[in-house]
Structure 1
Amino acid sequence: MTKFHHTVSRRDFMKGIGLTGVGLGGAALAGPQFHDLDEMMASAVDIKHPWFVRQREAYNPTADVDWNLIKPYTLGNHGYNFGVKSGDGQAEKRAAWQAQQLKANAPGNSLKDVAFSAGASFLSFGAGLTSVPWYGIDVTTPEQRGVARWSGTAEENAKLVRAAMHFYGSPRQGFLAFNQRFIDLSVRANALRIENTDQPYADGSTKVIPQSCKSAIIYVVKQPMEMSNFGDHTAPKLEYSSALNIGATIGYAMGPIIQNRTQRFLKSLGYHALTGLESYNVANGVMAGLSELSRNAHNCTPQEGTLIRYTPSIVTDLPLPETTPIDAGMYKFCYQCKTCAEVCPWGSIPMDTEPVWEANDAGPNGEANVWNRPGYKRWPMNFAKCHGCNFCDANCVFSQKNLASVHTTIRAVVANTSLFNGFFAQMDRAFGYGDSTDYEGWWNRDLSNWRHDTVLGAGTDDWA
């Protein structure tokens, strides 16, 4: 254990995390201070995060943004097309390796695992799910019930939505204004327009949104840690464990279920609930205060790290408050950590310490990779190389939750100072919290602990 020894005085340690003269326990118990009732009411809007997470100003995330450069974009010739890589032959090699593993009854790729994956992917993006219109299916409206539609303050509405969506399967929700900034940030060019109309409708491929819709609900869709492509950091580049990526597939399958339940709820209250408007979801999660941007271009949440599936939106005319970006020290931690880049089998994640404004990678045939848009500082992913294996997310330091009791304290330290980031990242690699290849053990796990079996156990976060 001597290689983990780091000499630092108690005074320097406490000073580094901003707790000089205050015990850690006292700091953890310190509550927010309110000067009047307006401040107290506004505090109800905040997302339930651990105590050490700080709120930032609206549209001011930890990753620098130049709003003059943020414009709607066209998906076009992006390289984020998993398993379809022009000329590299990797998709064929991966398929051949999976076939060999299946015949060998290898753990993580055996017949029972393949069957398990088939079940997990059901209802995912049209796989077995009856198509639901983007404006939601018909429901019994308040008018048909003979009553007025629901009416409440923005804060009351936020509480209502959160209570319902938490039950439906999403652990946390944030809210953004649905305006031109939202469109510039996350909507594909020419995908929608806003009109003075009572009902949404489609004009060819363009979705027409009523002017009354001024809010967007942004919500976390979880995926379970189990079977989320955990594996040995030293595994051969193609032969990484569980190529099935079952954790991701069931995460994507849960998204439409949460979405449809929420649409029915909002429409039954008497409000629009429009989905599928954004083409880029990570920015929504960051701006709504659910996450920070990570090195691998994903949402990094204080609760699950990058091991969530996505943060989609539902646009509505139900009045809602706005939530703001957060600072939990995670984006800054990515400067020194680099674990996701080190374990990436495809070399698609940059190893540079500093994030950059430029987006200089290209698609498989030299075309511009438009997924790396200009306008913000990040580590530009080479999406043309990415095969969507989820290896980066499964090995993210922040994805390990509280597998060791010290993790809670470490996260609080990271949120207050970057002094120990390099040391903590090295510790994580050495202890190997991201390694979990015991698939046979998973099949024989204790089923009495329901929260680890499905993303529907959203109400049992370690931070709750």
Structure 2
Amino acid sequence: PWWVKEREEHNPTTEIDWDIMGRPNPTNTGQQTEMWAYYHGQARADAASSKGSEVDNASIAANDPGFSPRCLALKAAVTTSWSSYVSKSWVGASTSSTWTKGGGSVYKGVATPTERGEPKWNGTPEENTHMLNAYQKFVGAAVSGYGEFSTLDRTKLLCTNIKHNADKKFIIDDTVDTAYETSTALAVPGKNQMYHLVHWEHMSHELSRATPAMSGRFNSSDFVATSLKPSVFNFLRYFGYQMIGDGGDSNYPFVEVAVANLTGVCESSRQNLYGLTPELGPIGRIHSYITDMPVAPTYPIDAGQFKFCADCGKCARACPPKVISLDKGPSWDIPDINGKPNLMHHAGTKEYWSDGALCRLFRTEANGCNVCWGNCTFTTNKGAMVHEVIRGTIANVGIGPLNHFFFQMGELFNYGADSQKAEDWWDRSFPVLGMDTTVSSFDGGYKK
């Protein structure tokens, strides 16, 4: 959009002290039951799932909004996985051993230039970025970001190990030019220059506002990723290049919102987990990969959104367990949780800090939440011109009282999350797949 300003490389709107920062260790996250117990007690952690089931069953029995038979069918039926026998591994396509034992063939992907007897594609970084933007949008990436895998990535951004397993490390092997995986390591080839490939995938704005009842189903990006991941993998493979990473939630090589910040896909947020894009607000899913196809970098952006968070705080006030900071501004200091050091965050950025353990614990106890996503002031659609005017003003003016006025207008027009909206959803007409895919479209007669 015209109102988004580009910043210098490695200089997002979230302040970073690169001298303090080291490689992140994602072993401890708020998703782990160990963290729930550490900060909020073993008994509560043990009881969370059963409590969540009780809450769910009670809502179903009472026919609460969002728990009618048609809503339950929607939750159960949306497909969010690959085919039954092929998945994306760290290196490439992975075929189920059950399939091959039954006589099925191993799937490697489309034929490479070598296999076709053709020369490898050799476009310039600018040509490659232009080509990837067009293709990736066609197969599901709403916004794409790119960057060089630099010394900073090696020493500051690449995770030390995979999520929840400190024994399986991310390493850089400068002797090889292709990725590989062992029982103890996921190797990034370091012999040649590598690059970032970042996708922001659509989710449904309407279902995000139907939370907590529809807390999981607005994440329609999972079925977008079902098409996007294999399509981009095969596209790069066709030209003779790698797509490294499985695009899953356990083996990501970078903190994904961090690399999305650095490649200009989004800014940070008060909520501390999701990012904020100029086009879609917080509603989307980030997946990041490493490739050896040369690409031209995209740089951090300033759309005034992270600054807006200081004058808003709607997500924090809406948060049922109150885990989102209400501080007036971001801080370098990571606060303790119940008198214990916060092991889930990584020093070196100036942010609003949250209690990820209590977030996930409460979500399990309540069998759903995601209320903050639907309540974000930027969770709005693009049909009305006023939204574009407001976004442009936020990006280029950013005055506290004016930001607060825009927040109040969102309250007045009832933008926010409510389970009743899960029932209203059935009576309204929304775009195919529940997503306005024109928000990042500028040609062919689509609205700019």
Question: What secondary structure is seen at the aligned counterpart in 2 of 1:267?
Answer: helix
Partner of 1:25: none
Give the Å deviation of 1:213. 4.5
Q: How does 1:227-238 map to 2 (within 5 A)?
A: 227-230=207-210
Q: Kindly provide the amino acid, as one letter, of the partner of residue 209 in structure 1.
A: V
Write the distance in 2 (CA, Å) between the matches of 1:179 and 1:252: 29
Q: Is the 8 A contact 1:355 1:377 kept in 2?
A: yes
Q: Kindly provide the amino acid, as one letter, of the partner of residue 54 in structure 2.
A: A
Q: How does 1:354-393 map to 2 (within 5 A)?
A: 354-362=329-337, 368-387=341-360, 389-393=369-373
Query: Which of 300, 307, 313 does residue 332 from structure 1 map onto?
Result: 307
Partner of 1:159: 130
The alpha-carbon distance between structure 1 residues 408 and 427, as it changes in their structure 2 partners (threshold 3 A), is same
Q: How does 1:176-215 map to 2 (within 5 A)?
A: 176-183=147-154, 184-189=156-161, 190-210=169-189, 211-215=191-195
Question: What secondary structure is seen at the aligned counterpart in 2 of 1:172?
Answer: strand
Write the distance in 1 (CA, Å) between the matches of 2:15 and 2:215: 36
Partner of 2:320: 345
Q: Kindly provide the amino acid, as one letter, of the partner of residue 199 in structure 2.
A: Y
Write the distance in 1 (CA, Å) between the matches of 2:312 and 2:447: 24
Q: How does 1:110-121 map to 2 (within 5 A)?
A: 110-121=68-79
Question: What secondary structure is seen at the aligned counterpart in 2 of 1:171?
Answer: strand
Partner of 1:440: 423
The alpha-carbon distance between structure 1 residues 336 and 91, as it changes in their structure 2 partners (threshold 3 A), is farther
Query: Which of 298, 304, 312 does residue 280 from structure 2 map onto?
Result: 304
Give the Å deviation of 1:344. 0.5
Q: Kindly provide the amino acid, as one letter, of the partner of residue 80 in structure 1.
A: Q
Query: Which of 3, 7, 18 does residue 67 from structure 1 map onto?
Result: 18
The alpha-carbon distance between structure 1 residues 130 and 83, as it changes in their structure 2 partners (threshold 3 A), is farther
Write the distance in 2 (CA, Å) between the matches of 1:214 and 1:131: 23
Query: Which of 219, 226, 231 does residue 206 from structure 2 map onto?
Result: 226
Partner of 2:60: 102
Question: What secondary structure is seen at the aligned counterpart in 2 of 1:292?
Answer: coil
The alpha-carbon distance between structure 1 residues 370 and 263, as it changes in their structure 2 partners (threshold 3 A), is farther
Give the Å deviation of 1:373. 0.9
Q: Is the 8 A contact 1:223 1:455 kept in 2?
A: no
Structure 2 residue 237 is the aligned partner of structure 1 residue 255? no
Structure 2 residue 256 is the aligned partner of structure 1 residue 293? no
After superposition, give the CA deviation of every residue in 1:98-139 in whole Å (9 maximum; x if it has no partner). 11111233331223322211222530xx79573332221223
Q: How does 1:6-155 map to 2 (within 5 A)?
A: 50-81=1-32, 85-86=36-37, 87-88=43-44, 89-123=47-81, 130-137=86-93, 138=108, 139-155=110-126
Write the distance in 2 (CA, Å) between the matches of 1:163 and 1:205: 37
Query: Which of 249, 266, 270 does residue 236 from structure 2 map onto?
Result: 266
Question: What secondary structure is seen at the aligned counterpart in 1 of 2:238?
Answer: helix
Write the distance in 2 (CA, Å) between the matches of 1:404 and 1:341: 27
Write the distance in 1 (CA, Å) between the matches of 2:8 and 2:185: 33
Give the Å deviation of 1:80. 3.2
The alpha-carbon distance between structure 1 residues 60 and 372, as it changes in their structure 2 partners (threshold 3 A), is same
Give the Å deviation of 1:281. 0.4
- Which moved further from structure 2: 129-138 or 279-288? 129-138
Give the Å deviation of 1:327. 0.6
Q: Kindly provide the amino acid, as one letter, of the partner of residue 421 in structure 2.
A: D
Question: What secondary structure is seen at the aligned counterpart in 2 of 1:174?
Answer: strand
Query: Which of 408, 418, 427 does residue 388 from structure 2 map onto?
Result: 408
Write the distance in 2 (CA, Å) between the matches of 1:403 and 1:356: 36
Question: What secondary structure is seen at the aligned counterpart in 2 of 1:117?
Answer: helix
Give the Å deviation of 1:441. 3.4
Write the distance in 2 (CA, Å) between the matches of 1:267 and 1:399: 36
Matched-pair identity in % = 28
After superposition, give the CA deviation of every residue in 1:72-116 in whole Å (9 maximum; x if it has no partner). 122233323489943335544332121111123333122332221
The alpha-carbon distance between structure 1 residues 102 and 456, as it changes in their structure 2 partners (threshold 3 A), is farther
Write the distance in 2 (CA, Å) between the matches of 1:360 and 1:186: 24
Partner of 1:19: none
- Which moved further from structure 2: 159-168 or 207-216? 207-216
Give the Å deviation of 1:459. 6.1
Write the distance in 1 (CA, Å) between the matches of 2:309 and 2:398: 10
Query: Unpaired runs of 5+ in structure 1?
Result: 1-49, 232-240
Write the distance in 2 (CA, Å) between the matches of 1:167 and 1:114: 31
User: What's the TM-score, normalizing by structure 2?
Assistant: 0.82
Q: Is the 8 A contact 2:275 2:282 kept in 1?
A: yes
Q: Is the 8 A contact 1:292 1:331 kept in 2?
A: yes
Question: What secondary structure is seen at the aligned counterpart in 1 of 2:393?
Answer: helix
Alignment RMSD (CA, Å): 2.6
Q: Kindly provide the amino acid, as one letter, of the partner of residue 171 in structure 1.
A: A
The alpha-carbon distance between structure 1 residues 140 and 74, as it changes in their structure 2 partners (threshold 3 A), is same
Write the distance in 1 (CA, Å) between the matches of 2:92 and 2:342: 33
- Which moved further from structure 2: 348-357 or 195-204? 195-204
